[in-house]
Amino acid sequence: MPTGKYMSNFKTIGRYKIEEKIGEGSYGLVFRGQDPLLQRDVAIKVAKINTNSPEETQELAKAFYNEAQIAGNFTHTNIVTVFDVGRDNGMDYLVMELVPGRPLDDYFSDTGIESVEECIDIIHKCCVALDFVHFHGIIHRDIKPGNIIYNRPQGLVKLTDFGISHYLESKDLVTNAGTLAYMAPEHFLEARDITILTDIFALGCTMYKMLTGKRPFDGNSKTLVNQILYEAPTPLWGLRPDIPDDICEIVEKAMAKQDADRYQSALEFAADLIMAHNKIELEKTQSRKSVSWPPELQYYTNFRQNDWFRYFSPDQIQQLLQIGSVKIVPDGYAIITEGEVSQEFFLLIEGQVMVMKKGVNISLLESGACFGDTSLLGETTQRTASVKAIGSVTLWIIDSNKIESLSAENRASLFKTLLGVSMERLEELTGDVATFIEGSDLQI
Angle (CA) 284-286-291 rounded to 5° is 35
CA-CA distance, 273 to 279, in Å (whole number)? 10
Measured at the CA of 121, the angle between CA 117 and CA 122, to 5 degrees, comes to: 120
Neighbours of 363 (CB within 10 A): 13
The angle subtended at Cα 45 by Cα 39 and Cα 47, nearest 5°, is 145
The alpha carbon of 25 is separated from its chain's Cα centroid by a whole number of angstroms, namely 25
Interhelix angle 314-323/116-135, rounded to 10 degrees, is 130
What SS3 class is residue 286?
coil
Q: What are phi and psi of 311, to 5 degrees?
A: -90, 0
The active-site residue, picked from 142, 199, 272, 373, is: 142
Residues 148, 159: Cα–Cα separation, whole Å: 5
The sheet that has 102-103: what strands, in order across it? Answer: 102-103, 148-151, 156-159
- Distances in whole angstroms, Cα of residue 388 to Cα of each of 336, 349, 391, 413: 7, 15, 10, 29
Rounded-to-integer distance, Cα 383 and Cα 405, Å: 25
User: CA distances (Å), 277 to each of 28, 117, 271, in order?
Assistant: 37, 7, 10
- HSE, side-chain direction, 13 A CA sphere, residue 279: 13
Strand ranges (E), 277-420: 325-329, 334-336, 341-342, 344-357, 360-365, 370-371, 381-382, 386-399
| Interaxial angle between packed helices 116-135 and 266-284, expressed in degrees from 0 to 180 and rounded to the nearest 10 | 160
DSSP-H helix ranges across 213-265: 221-230, 236-239, 245-254
- 131, 301 in Cβ contact below 8 A? no
Angle 266-284/245-254 helices, nearest 10 degrees? 170
| Under 8 Å between Cβ of 69 and 76 | no
Whether residue 387 contacts residue 336, with contact meaning beta carbons closer than 8 Å, is answered with yes
Backbone angles phi, psi at 389, to 5 degrees: -70, 140
Asked if 142 is an active-site residue, the reply is yes
Residues assigned a catalytic role? 142
